[in-house]
Structure formats: structure tokens, C-alpha cells
Amino acid sequence: MNRIIQLTCLLLIAVLAAGCAVWARIDEPLVDGPDKAFQLELPVGWIRAGLATDRVLVTRDGTGVQFIEAMKRTHKKAFSDLKEETRADMLPTELAELAIAQLKSQPGVSDLEVVNNAPATIAGTTGFRLHVQMKNSQGLAYEAVVYGFVDADGFYRLRYQAPSLHYFKRDLSIFERAVKSFRLTGERA
């Protein structure tokens, strides 16, 4: 019986240890995206979620508080949750429309309001910059800034999200710096 308990404890420790390893502190500011498709500078000391292998996901205080996310999707999978695809010739306005629809479709999201929606240049390509306010299922007000653009390879999105109270403004400039540093490093870059 004792042996079973010991084995169970060991197994639990092993699982927990593996769980800890999926979060890693950022020590080097230059971070590569999945498949080295892009690169961006992120703040040293923030934590990166290793489990999110299809994107770069970092946070300072936990993803429930704030996060910065950078990802690339193929055109086919760009908005798979909306059953929508992107194309290389899509206008920034059209991409922003899809980004708004995607935010609205998230579970628990309500009262979404567009604060600002304008064209923006990301890694030398024209895309959109979207700033929205919304509430979660607990009624907490939070904000998100989303950048997006398309190229021949797919759709790129950078997103920052945090509660309106205290957190959003605090880390917004960090995100904007990350967007400025974003560059494509894949074959087409």
C-alpha cells in the first residue's frame, strides 16, 4: 500500500515538474515565432507559455491579467473559429472586420466597443490596428489592441489584452514596442 502511495506521489511530482517547465522566463529579448516565421522583441522578465507552440504568448502577471500574443496562420486557418479564410489581396478594412467578429464571438465577451480602428504598418506591410473595449462574463471591463496583416503566406496577428483598470495602460507601450520590433524572418522575409 505504501509503495502505491509513494509511486503516486512520484508520478504527481513528475507531472507537476513537467507542468512548471512549460512556463519559461524570457532572458533574451529577441524571441522567435513558431517555425521561425517571425521575430520580435519582448520584455525580459516576462513569462512565455511553452505549451502554446503555434504562437508566442507572454505575460507579466498571468494570462488572466495581461498577455501579448504573436502568431501566424495560413490563410485557410486564419479565422477558422469563424469559418472564414483570408487571402493575400484582402484589404486592411476587411481584415479588421474579421478581427472584430472574432473578438465578439469569444465566449463570455459582451459590450464590445471599437475605440479606434485604423490602418497601420507592421513589418513594412499595411494592415490594421484595432483598439476595443469589452466585458467578460464576470462583468470585468478589459481592453485589447490587435494588429493584423496578410502576405502571400498567411495572416499575422499581434494582440495585447488586459483589464482596463490599472493594467491596460501600464503595459500598452511595451506591446507597441514589440509591434515595432516585429519582423518576418521566414523564407519570404
Count of positions on this chain that bind another protein (CB under 8 A): 24
Stretch that binds another protein, among 1-9, 98-106, 142-150, 155-163 (CB under 8 A): 98-106
Nearest distance, CB of residue 8 and another protein, angstroms: 26
Instruction: 11-18: list long-range contacts, CB under 8 Å, 24+ apart.
Output: none
154 lies in the site for another protein, by CB under 8 A:
no
Nearest Cα neighbor of 137 from 173, 108, 162, 174 is: 108
Verify binding: residue 8, another protein, rule CB under 8 A: no
- Rounded CA separation 1/111 (Å): 55
- By beta-carbon proximity to another protein, the closer residue of 41 and 151 is 151
Residue 109 beta carbon to another protein: minimum distance, rounded to whole angstroms: 9
Are 155 and 148 in contact by the 8 Å Cβ rule? The answer is yes
- Can residue 64 be called a binding residue for another protein (CB under 8 A)? no
For the four alpha carbons of 19, 39, 82 and 161, in that order, the dihedral sign comes to positive
